[in-house]
């Protein structure tokens, strides 16, 4: 078995907001969800865990690693996209506080970033670089990546052949687990990203 196991972190108090590089801890629902996630992850044959270094992902990853006796490597390149001035805001707040920018973002995403936020092409370039390194490290067992919804959606559509709709559905729940066979992963080619 040589699978890539993508795991979304469990819930925080910033659920429902634009939470990119913000660094909240897990909330009570997240702690409860973590217990269920550990039972789901335990039988997957995970031999290596890579994680975003943000607290919500790193705490999720460490709990999995402790449960199955597997080390965790923290990678800042696995962070969610940075939403700049929109960090921690709900969409309704963004529409009220930044009405013009919100309209442009809806029309032009991914080519338009949030005010003072990360460019989408920079986000995808760093995620591609991380996955190139992880996918290239073959092991006898599965490799897990504990990260964020935006990262997972990008990887599922870019590398795993998921439609955008399927990627959204597969990642909508905190603690979601999506498994892809590494032998079926598409080659990562950063040329043309953001073009």
**Residue 70: predicted pLDDT:** 95
Q: What is the pTM of this model?
A: 0.91
Positions marked active-site: 9, 80
- Report residue 6 as tokens: 């993508």
113 shares a domain with 123:
no
107 shares a domain with 32:
no
**Residue 191: predicted pLDDT:** 28
pLDDT of 138 > 80? The answer is no
Q: Average pLDDT, whole number, for the chain?
A: 90
Q: 6-44: per-residue pLDDT in tens?
A: 999 999 999 999 999 999 999 999 999 999 999 999 999
**CATH (domain of 36):** 3.40.50.1240
Phi, psi of 162 (to 5 degrees): -75, 150
pLDDT of 190 > 50? The answer is no
150 is a domain residue: yes
Number of domains in the chain: 2
Q: 170-180: per-residue pLDDT in tens?
A: 999 999 999 98
Check if the beta carbon of residue 180 is closer than 8 Å to that of residue 154.
no
Least confident of 51-60, 85-94, 175-184: 175-184
Task: Provide the CB-side half-sphere exposure for 12 (13 A, CA).
Answer: 21
**Which residue, of 97, 117, 137, is where some domain finishes?**
117
Domain coverage including residue 45: 3-82+118-184
Q: How far apart are CA 142 and CA 34, in angstroms?
A: 20
Split at pLDDT 50, 70, 90, the class of 136 is low
């Amino acid at each position: 078995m040589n699978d890539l196991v993508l795991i979304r972190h469990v819930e925080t108090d910033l659920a429902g907001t634009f939470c990119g590089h913000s660094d909240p801890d897990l909330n009570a629902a997240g702690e409860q969800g973590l217990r269920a996630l550990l039972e789901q992850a335990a039988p997957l044959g995970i031999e290596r865990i890579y994680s975003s270094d943000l607290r919500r992902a790193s705490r999720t990853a460490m709990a999995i690693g402790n449960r199955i006796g597997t080390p965790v490597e923290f990678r800042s390149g696995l962070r969610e996209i940075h939403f700049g001035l929109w960090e921690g805001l709900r969409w309704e707040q963004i529409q009220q506080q930044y009405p013009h920018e919100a309209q442009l973002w809806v029309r032009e995403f991914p080519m338009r970033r949030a005010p003072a936020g990360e460019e989408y092409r920079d986000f995808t370039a760093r995620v591609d670089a991380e996955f190139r390194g992880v996918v290239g490290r073959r092991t006898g067992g599965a490799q897990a990546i504990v990260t964020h919804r935006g990262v997972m959606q990008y990887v599922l559509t870019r590398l795993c052949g998921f439609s955008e709709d399927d990627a959204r559905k597969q990642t909508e729940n905190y603690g979601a687990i999506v498994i892809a066979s590494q032998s079926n992963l598409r080659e990562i080619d950063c040329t043309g990203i953001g073009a």
